[in-house]
Chains A and B, each alone.
Chain A
Amino acid sequence: EDKVVQSPLSLVVHEGDTVTLNCSYEVTNFRSLLWYKQEKKAPTFLFMLTSSGIEKKSGRLSSILDKKELFSILNITATQTGDSAVYLCAVETGTDSWGKLQFGAGTQVVVTP
């Protein structure tokens, strides 16, 4: 059975702090790992990672994948209140379709002023 586990489930930080979110997975037919941001609506795409060791960066957000140890990390530096959201990790799996996603439970991030 495919499994994606995120930790921590929630955290509260002050503006300016750095947060590190973890995602481990056990799946068959790994295609890619994706990070999403969700703010009371549909998930918004952040990153897609397919190869180990290549860090993806977008402004204050960065992510890395370790395919040997089966985990990924999402870092957010210099956090802002607008970063408050649920961050979802998902693994794309399967051989019969594109975009079939197995999600983790998410990490609720609250950034206080």
Chain B
Amino acid sequence: NAGVTQTPKFQVLKTGQSMTLQCAQDMNHNSMYWYRQDPGMGLRLIYYSASEGTTDKGEVPNGYNVSRLNKREFSLRLESAAPSQTSVYFCASSGRGGGRWTTFGSGTRLTVV
């Protein structure tokens, strides 16, 4: 099925460890996004890539890095995980027309202990 695929679905890290969250879309979308969602809060934008070769900070970029590897793939890296990064992470992609054409991945539940 076409869509956005995120891996892994669950992860437990120790404080200070690093990891990369992977995201791939097969809808030929130009724009891709990483959001985090904390309990009782909506999604907050971490980083985004308007098109292949570009990346920009969102609302909460501190402690994260991203790579737009190609048009399909957009990864999120935590270099030194902290308990404050415990959250659910969603990747999304969007094509021309945005809005209703935004597709979300199923999410990664990350716990940092």
Contact = CB atoms under 8 A, between A and B. Distances in A.
Is the A/B pair a real complex? Answer: yes
A19 interface: no
B105 A98 contact: no
A34 B101 CA distance: 11
B2 to A, nearest CB: 15
A41 B107 contact: yes
A105 B40 contact: yes
B45 A48 contact: no
A101 B90 CA distance: 13
A48 B42 CA distance: 17
Interface residues of A, number: 26
Contacts of B31: 97-100
Contact of A101 (B102, B105, B106, B107): B102
B98 A92 contact: yes
A90 interface: yes
A105 B98 contact: no
Tier of interface size on chain B:
20 to 34
A101 B101 contact: no
Interface string A76-113: 00000000000010101000111111111110000000
Interface centre among A88, A98, A104, A105 (most CB of B within 10 A): A98
B106 A41 contact: yes
A42 B101 contact: no
B42 A31 contact: no
A42 B40 contact: no
A101 B104 contact: no
B99 A32 contact: yes
Contacts of B75: none
Contacts of B105: 42
Interface string B17-41: 0000000000000110101000011
Interface of B: 30-31, 33, 35, 40-45, 48-51, 56, 59, 90, 92-102, 104-107
